[in-house]
Structures are given as structure tokens and as C-alpha cells.
Amino acid sequence: MHAAKLKESQILPVLERFYEKVRRDPMLGPVFAVVADWPEHLQRLTEFWSSLMLTSGKYKGNPVAMHLIHADKIESVMFERWLSIWRQTTDEMLPFPVAQEMQIKAGRIASRLNLALTGEMLEFRIERSASLALKPYKTTRIFDEVTVPAALLQSHRVKAGAWALIRVLAGSMRLVTGQTVSPLSPDCIGRILPEVEHHLQLDGPVQFQVEFFDRDPLLIDSIERKEHA
């Protein structure tokens, strides 16, 4: 099964939700209050991410020059907050591999802009690791297309404060979260956030199990900030 890829039609909805959160944020909201025409701003950002992720060549601007105008209002800590909200939004709306790629690129953007605007050589990286930092507090037995509990095929939620990983051992299946459908296979782990509605769709013969954690097992919440000499 092919790895999930970003679609052009997914970019604008992600940006709309992201900047809705940014504009309400106590730290970032005042900085973005300078934007007078949000539809036009979102259109330019859509072109930027289309060029960055899909090599469409739609964006012709200069991000550094655009931000230098407001350099006196920007501090390094704001980039950490910006990345945190970006991580949260992309995790909510996109398949894991796509969200991961967009978050890595956002970390690189934050590093370059931070240097240009504040003069500080700091690297902001969103660490993603398939090596789990935690051991699950519960692991289900191995299910197949016959023994899969009916509840997993219907809309349900993981309890508050719990994360889950779905590991496919053989075959393939799909994880449906809202309008997002993520293909799962032995090479693609499914990640479920607390209290988010989801269900599974089986493609045929499959073997899988579910692991539960009391913290995010893939270190999604870890933004590493490194100083360079």
C-alpha cells in the first residue's frame, strides 16, 4: 500500500484551523493582528505550502522579507509556540506520515526565520521517533479479520489522558479519524489521540494489536531546542 501523501485540497483547511488557533493565542495573537486581509494571507500561505510540499511552484514571495517588517515584535519563544500549535493542528487533521513531514519542514522554517529576525542561531526540531520512549500500560491480544471486536469497527474514543498505537503485523487496514483516512500496514503505525473519535476499516485478511499509553509514545510533544556555538 502506498504511503499517505498530502493533497492540494488539504492545505487550506489545515491553515484555516491553524490560524484560527493562532489568532486566539495570547502570545501569538497580537503579532498576527497586523494581518488586514486574512483571505489573501491564507491564499499566499496555501501557495507557499503547496510549493514546499508538492513542488508546485505556486509561491513567488520572500518569507524572510515579509517577516522582517515585524521583527521588533518577534521573539524566539514565539517560534516554539507556533510549532506547538502547528504540531497539534496537523496531528488532528492529517495522516501521521503527512503531519510528520509538515512538522519537520515547519521546524526548519522556524530555525531560518528565527536567525533572520532575532539573530539567534537556534534550531527548532520536532522529534519523531518510531522507537517508543514508553512502554504501553496495556497491549491487546492479536486480532484478525474474524476476531476483531465489533466496537473497533464503530466510532469510539480512547479515554482522556490515553494514547493508542495500532500495529499491523500482517495485511493492511485503514484508520478513520473524522474525514481523514490513514492506511495502516506493517510499515505504517496508526496513532490515536485522547478522546478523538475514530474507527477501523478492514481491507481483508489482517493481523494487528493495539497498545495503550498514558503519554504520547512517539515524542510528538518534544520540541528540542539546541544552541549552536
Look up the pTM and report it. 0.58
Domain boundaries along the sequence of the chain: 8-129+220-227, 138-213
Question: Which pLDDT score, from 0 to 100, does residue 149 have?
Answer: 96
Question: Which pLDDT score, from 0 to 100, does residue 134 have?
Answer: 64
pLDDT tens per residue, range 21-61? 999 999 999 989 989 999 999 999 999 999 999 998 898 88
If DSSP states are collapsed to H, E and C, what string results for the chain? CCCCCCCHHHHHHHHHHHHHHHHHCCCCHHHHCCCCCHHHHHHHHHHHHHHHHHCCCCCCCCHHHHHHCCHHHCCHHHHHHHHHHHHHHHHHHCCHHHHHHHHHHHHHHHHHHHHHHHCCCEEEEECCCCCCCCCCCEECCCEECCCCCHHHHCCECCCCCCEEEEEEEEEEEEEEECCEEEEEECCECEEECCCCCEEEEEEEEEEEEEEEECCCCCCCCCEEEEECC
Question: Which pLDDT score, from 0 to 100, does residue 164 have?
Answer: 92
User: Is 129:219 a contact under the CB 8 Å cutoff?
Assistant: yes
Query: Superfamily assignment of 138-213 in CATH?
Result: Jelly Rolls (2.60.120.10)
pLDDT tens per residue, range 103-145? 888 988 888 888 888 887 666 665 544 334 468 889 999 999 9
pLDDT tens per residue, range 81-114? 898 899 888 888 888 778 888 988 898 888 888 8
Do the two domains 8-129+220-227 and 138-213 of this chain adopt the same fold?
no
Which SS3 state, helix, strand or coil, does residue 91 take?
Answer: helix
pLDDT tens per residue, range 200-229? 999 899 999 999 988 777 644 333 333 333
Query: Superfamily assignment of 8-129+220-227 in CATH?
Result: Globins (1.10.490.10)
